[in-house]
Structure 1
Amino acid sequence: MPAKKGIEDAPVYSMAHERQVELLSEALLREYMHKRKFTETLRVFDEENPRGSDTITSRALMSDLMALKPETQKSMKNDGVETIMEMLCCLRVQRRMEVEELKRRASAEVPSTPEKTKAKKAKKAKKKKDKQKSLSKESSDKQSNREKGRGVSEFHKFLESSGSSSDGASSRAEDGDGPGSVAGKETNLAGDRLWGDDEGGSQIGGKLAVSLLTALCSSASSLKNYTEQGFSFDQDLEYALVQWKRGPDGIITVVQAFVCAFFFKGSFVDVQRHQRHCLLRSLTTILCGVQPSPHLICLVDGSVTADKPEVGIANMTVLRKFTTTQEIEDTLCPLLEKWMQPKGSGLMCFLLSVMLSAGIEAITSLIGSQGSRLIDSEGRCTVELVRLLLSDESTTSTALDDDDVLGELSIGMGPSGPVCGYIVSDHGVPPSGDNRPPPRHPVWLLHHGDRLAVLFLKRDNRRQLEQRKGAGVTISTDAFFYSPATHGQGEIFLTLTTRRTGDANQHSERSDSFLGNAIHSITLWSDGDIDWNGSEPSF
């Protein structure tokens, strides 16, 4: 059914989520009993649940709240389904049957190849091989006959020509004009990012391991909580990463923000497969944001222990010289099995991959003054490390022309703007909004001292909220708050209410907490209300 004029002004849109559900449930029951002529039951229901000014009486409003499209309703009415409640039940059954069918197809065994077909293919391949062998022999015989006609003088000329060419190549290499010189120039241009020539990867080596550790931390003891941390998901919250010990918050939470950006886009059947896919996209997006050139991106594989980190890092294998982003994803995919081990070296492998991709010189320039590190003396991630991982944000906090960190992997609002927002407190100064474009996904990384968390929407309805706010409608939406460091507490549900644009008579009560000020620094809720539903975290 087409939405009636003025439906967007209905008061139910500005109510809390629980109240919306209550009113909608009553309306669906009333419509069902009315259509089915359960008159007496409806009368008793109205006595127990008196109608009021908030009561939903519009079928169009119910359809809009349940996101039931007009064409869907028309099709179901033709099949004899009259009430919205029955339509919703039918849709639920249809979707479940579709999912069951997809699961059945996914688990079905691939039919084996018949023996006759196998024999036929083998015979055909043998025939083709014999033909190629015969042609090769004929070509070899002809070449041998031609060689027999050549004189000894020709052979000596060939040797002399080869010798002079070899001498020339040798002299050019010594003068710096040969291939060796080109390789040297390429190595100088790439700095410390390129080493080794093996296609299967090469070891980092002791010298580079020392350079990495010097930029990373001042003491090996600071890495204790980093060497036994992988990218593992929580059993209860499907999207949530788990952090075992405090310290690597700045790495795990940044990756968590990217996972939240991708996790709620579209539906999925296999949870574990979807988790791996979102993690793969997140890690690849971060790496390509740190180093836009695929040729200079490095992937590290191996294990490292806290007692002798320099030895473990030196023996780690590095894969590099990729040509495309897809090649990076294809290489990273099998590595995830190791990186996702709960208490493995996955986090260290990723961190070293980021550092090698950026380059030691770039890392040194980022941390600035002598004695500074990416991890402080207490084992906590510094703001510089967080900004490095956030790609676009790592260059400047007020950039207006930040490019997409990974165009072919991004989904959401458009090609511009960072993947997620970043709100950080600076030496006790309350956070405030900046001039950067809004994030492509409704995800914001909150950073206060050594604590990090993710604020996000599971459904990106920001455009709808802006439109209704501009139309003078006060509207509430559900938001979620999660911190991997406190995964035992689960996610926290909060309600954010927008206020009418230009409404000078109403001002939200400002919070003294970092979280309240951080949320108010987001333009959409700059003058809105925050309801933590009784569970505001201490941050």
Structure 2
Amino acid sequence: MVPSVEEVSSSLVREYLSRKGLKRTIACMEEEHPRTEASINNRSELRQILSIEDLYRKNKLQNNPLKTLLEVIVKHLIEQVKNEKIVSSDGVSSRRAQTSSMDNAPAGEEDSTPASVPSKQTRSRLDITATFPTSQATNASLVPENDRKSSNNRTGFRGPDLGVQKDHPVMDSLQDNKSLIQKEPEKNTSTSETTQRSRTNRIRRGILAGPVPQESNRKRNSRKVSQPLLRREEANRPTQDGRLVTGFHRGSLQGSRSEISSADCVREGREALSVSQRTQSENSFERVRLNMVTTTKAKTRPSAADLDASAMVLDDIEDYDDDLRELCDAPLRGTLPEHSLAGHPMDQRTATELKTLLLGSSLNCFNIEWRNQGFTFSDTHDLRYGIVQRKGGPCGVLASVQAFVLKKLLFESTESCTVGLQRLRPSNSIRRKCLVLALAEILWRAGEEKQATVAINSGRNQFIPARPYRSEGVLEKITCLTVENLKDLELILEQHVEQFETGMLGCMLLAVSAVLSRSIQKVQEDMDVPTTTLIGAHGYCTQELVNLLLCGRAVSNVFDNDMELDSGNGNMTLLKGIKGHCDVGLLSLFEHYNICKVGAYLKTPRYPIWVVCSESHFSVLFGLQRELLTNEGGGTEFDLYYFDGLANQQEEIRLTVSVGRLTQSSQDVDTDLTPPLELCIRTRWKDAFVSWNDTEPIL
């Protein structure tokens, strides 16, 4: 796919800012003009698109080579203009000297001019040759004088067998006039006599001709079609005396022409050159990109409301098309809040510490299960509230977020028209809003309700990886946005919710955001052993990571408060636990096997929602009424709902729990045939009988 001019220009600017080390400016640009799938992130590819490989190699051979591609291009253009000025100045001086010698020759000596000095007829042919391509100039010189005189009202010239050339390009006439355009500013201090003589010479050479009659609207419209290189507003722009400007063709016709001032020549020449250069540049883009296989799509032009006036400077509006002119005249307003600009790119030191904390070493890499997991909701009608897990690994993160989504959906939703089970069938907008609020609550609690940091994928590397850090294209592309207000946090998450919901790195971005919100140092201080990792063997979430998401602290235990153990010889070991009641609780199968003890802070949360740890996997158990937390006496019966995002669940699982009704015969049943979920429930409600209500029990 052919890249758009906007994407190539943005890539040039990004490459310039990156090579110059302007990190703050890059961060602002990424917020105001973020990257898309069509963005060019490779310098080699960018050089190929711009066809500047030769310039790049020449630059590398210099003693002090330029660092950026933009500087290389600008230097080349400046040198090209200087060279053209020198060449054109020499050519004009030579022609003027010849013309002056012929004008001053005495009468009667015209036939006896030397062979080195061209005659008037020869000069006319030379002028035509300089104006048109070689083949056209040859044809023009063969046209009889009468035929040329009869072509006064034509826009082209007639060759011997080619007919009228209506599509004659303006650039042909500009090649020779370029010397005049560039030479005139140097003559500003000359006398009026020199100016008049120069004007007379230009009229003799055919640059300025006599007036032409006014053209009809029909001919004016046809001329705009036949001259595609002329701008629409210039093709029928009247001069000060009311005549129509139709371009200038030096020496091409001997008939009448409209008078054009030197200022008009300069302006139209520059515009035609700009159009030609832009056309050639776009054609070069097409030639390069057609040979490259790509699946990217170009970003559409932003609307006027999406642009920021403070970041837009147009030096010459005449170089842009009419649509852009209207766009620039439209009132502009910023769409991003000011707090969204307070971001800073990830640096290698922080990335190294994050990898060590999450994976145990900066040389380790995230597995495919983490890299491909986001918070995507189920499309099953009865399970629209559920977040689907692709593969095992980040289940602890998914279950924790699922629990807070249910909290927002069931107990904090402002939708008054839905109650009970109806809230478990939310619309796309409602469940996305609940996801944003759930993520905000998790990060805000991790930041001790003082501040929070959101990790966003910027789409490009923020630093150049070096040993001993191993690059994998994840942490290197993160931009961190820090806020000190819960509402601002919700706004930022709402703006970037697609990276969490439909993006491939949703779970990783949340884990990194939670660690940075808490700070790496405090997370290490929370754990019993500071070298413990948050992602354990086989990519499973450790209890520290789950506790960080549920309670805001990465403690290693699930009992209440801290516990001191005597290690002997007067040494005391401090084991850190849960400090207070949590909004969302936790039940563990390990407690059934007497491996750990879940405290009351997690068993009795503020809302009837529990993350269930069973068989090294995390899932969610929840109820619809908060009353079940207080009515716990014998004979109590209530319903609980179970969701496992990894089980490819296709139907709603409703469990009826009867407290104290477990018979002795049921207890004598082989525990190998007892679903682990029932064992987890009985750690919370002793002797509870669980009915699966015609649903196949999960073993």
The aligned residue for residue 492 of structure 1 is 653
Alignment partner of 2:646: what SS?
helix
User: How many pairs are equivalent?
Assistant: 315
1:299 to 454, 461, 466: 454
The aligned residue for residue 385 of structure 1 is 545
The aligned residue for residue 456 of structure 1 is 622
Cα 1:475/1:222, change in 2 over 3 Å: same
- 1:210–1:310 Cα contact (<8 Å) kept: no
Q: Measure, in 1, the Cα distance between the counterparts of 2:403 and 2:427.
A: 18
Q: Measure, in 2, the Cα distance between the counterparts of 1:533 and 1:252.
A: 26
1:285 to 427, 435, 441: 441
Q: Show the 5 A alignment for 1:75-154.
A: none
2:427 to 271, 295, 299: 271
Q: Per-residue CA shift, 1:246-291, capped at 9, x if unaligned?
A: 1111101111111122222354676112101211221111112222
Structure ID, larger Rg: 2
1:312 to 474, 493, 502: 474
The aligned residue for residue 680 of structure 2 is 518
2:533 to 369, 373, 382: 373
- 2:448–2:518 Cα contact (<8 Å) kept: no
Cα 1:537/1:380, change in 2 over 3 Å: farther
Alignment partner of 2:537: what SS?
coil
2:368 to 224, 227, 231: 224
| TM-score normalised by structure 1 residue count | 0.52
Q: Measure, in 1, the Cα distance between the counterparts of 2:611 and 2:479.
A: 32
Query: How far apart are 1:216 and its partner, in Å?
Result: 0.9
- Structure 2 residue 205 is the aligned partner of structure 1 residue 205: no
- 1:300–1:350 Cα contact (<8 Å) kept: yes
- Gapped runs of 5+ residues in structure 2? 1-338, 419-425, 461-468, 563-579
Query: How far apart are 1:372 and its partner, in Å?
Result: 3.3
Q: Measure, in 1, the Cα distance between the counterparts of 2:406 and 2:617.
A: 18
Q: Per-residue CA shift, 1:185-234, capped at 9, x if unaligned?
A: xxxxxxxxxxxx99431101122111111111146444321111111100
Q: Measure, in 1, the Cα distance between the counterparts of 2:348 and 2:478.
A: 10
Q: Show the 5 A alignment for 1:473-488.
A: 474-488=635-649
- 1:432–1:518 Cα contact (<8 Å) kept: no
Query: How far apart are 1:398 and its partner, in Å?
Result: 3.3
- 1:455–1:481 Cα contact (<8 Å) kept: yes
Query: How far apart are 1:489 and its partner, in Å?
Result: 4.4
What one-letter code is carried by the residue in structure 2 that aligns with 1:248?
A: P
Q: Show the 5 A alignment for 1:412-423.
A: 417-423=581-587
2:559 to 392, 395, 398: 398
Query: How far apart are 1:417 and its partner, in Å?
Result: 2.7
Q: Per-residue CA shift, 1:415-437, capped at 9, x if unaligned?
A: x8311111224484267663327
Cα 1:536/1:434, change in 2 over 3 Å: farther
2:501 to 340, 343, 347: 340
Q: Show the 5 A alignment for 1:420-439.
A: 420-426=584-590, 428-429=593-594, 434-436=599-601, 438-439=604-605
Alignment partner of 1:260: what SS?
helix
Cα 1:294/1:314, change in 2 over 3 Å: farther
Query: How far apart are 1:475 and its partner, in Å?
Result: 4.3
Q: Show the 5 A alignment for 1:35-54.
A: none
Alignment partner of 2:392: what SS?
coil
- 2:524–2:531 Cα contact (<8 Å) kept: no
Q: Measure, in 2, the Cα distance between the counterparts of 1:259 and 1:495.
A: 23
- 2:378–2:386 Cα contact (<8 Å) kept: yes
> Relative contact order (C-alpha < 8 Å, sep 6+): which is higher?
1
What one-letter code is carried by the residue in structure 2 that aligns with 1:443?
A: I
Q: Measure, in 2, the Cα distance between the counterparts of 1:495 and 1:431.
A: 26
The aligned residue for residue 234 of structure 1 is 378
What one-letter code is carried by the residue in structure 2 that aligns with 1:275?
A: R
Query: How far apart are 1:311 and its partner, in Å?
Result: 4.2
What one-letter code is carried by the residue in structure 2 that aligns with 1:509?
A: Q
Cα 1:387/1:505, change in 2 over 3 Å: closer
Q: Per-residue CA shift, 1:490-535, capped at 9, x if unaligned?
A: 44221111349xxx9989738735322221122xx32321112354
| TM-score normalised by structure 2 residue count | 0.41
Cα 1:464/1:251, change in 2 over 3 Å: closer
Cα RMSD of the aligned pairs, angstroms, is: 3.4
Alignment partner of 2:378: what SS?
coil
Q: Measure, in 2, the Cα distance between the counterparts of 1:481 and 1:431.
A: 23
Alignment partner of 1:439: what SS?
coil
- 1:431–1:521 Cα contact (<8 Å) kept: no
Alignment partner of 1:225: what SS?
helix
Q: Show the 5 A alignment for 1:48-87.
A: none
What one-letter code is carried by the residue in structure 1 that aligns with 2:677?
A: L
Query: How far apart are 1:328 and its partner, in Å?
Result: 1.2
Cα 1:505/1:369, change in 2 over 3 Å: closer
Q: Measure, in 2, the Cα distance between the counterparts of 1:203 and 1:510.
A: 60
Cα 1:481/1:337, change in 2 over 3 Å: same
Q: Measure, in 2, the Cα distance between the counterparts of 1:260 and 1:208.
A: 33
Q: Per-residue CA shift, 1:148-197, capped at 9, x if unaligned?
A: xxxxxxxxxxxxxxxxxxxxxxxxxxxxxxxxxxxxxxxxxxxxxxxxx9
Query: How far apart are 1:367 and its partner, in Å?
Result: 4.8
- Structure 2 residue 386 is the aligned partner of structure 1 residue 260: no
Alignment partner of 1:285: what SS?
helix
Q: Measure, in 2, the Cα distance between the counterparts of 1:490 and 1:308.
A: 43
Alignment partner of 2:387: what SS?
coil
What one-letter code is carried by the residue in structure 2 that aligns with 1:254?
A: S
Cα 1:308/1:431, change in 2 over 3 Å: closer
Q: Measure, in 2, the Cα distance between the counterparts of 1:201 and 1:292.
A: 20
What one-letter code is carried by the residue in structure 2 that aligns with 1:493?
A: R
- 1:230–1:344 Cα contact (<8 Å) kept: yes
What one-letter code is carried by the residue in structure 1 that aligns with 2:626?
A: D
Q: Measure, in 1, the Cα distance between the counterparts of 2:409 and 2:668.
A: 32
What one-letter code is carried by the residue in structure 2 that aligns with 1:458?
A: L
Q: Measure, in 2, the Cα distance between the counterparts of 1:261 and 1:334.
A: 22
- 1:249–1:380 Cα contact (<8 Å) kept: yes
Cα 1:443/1:324, change in 2 over 3 Å: same
Alignment partner of 2:379: what SS?
coil
- Structure 2 residue 687 is the aligned partner of structure 1 residue 527: yes
Alignment partner of 2:480: what SS?
strand
2:484 to 303, 323, 327: 323
The aligned residue for residue 509 of structure 1 is 667
Q: Measure, in 2, the Cα distance between the counterparts of 1:214 and 1:400.
A: 27
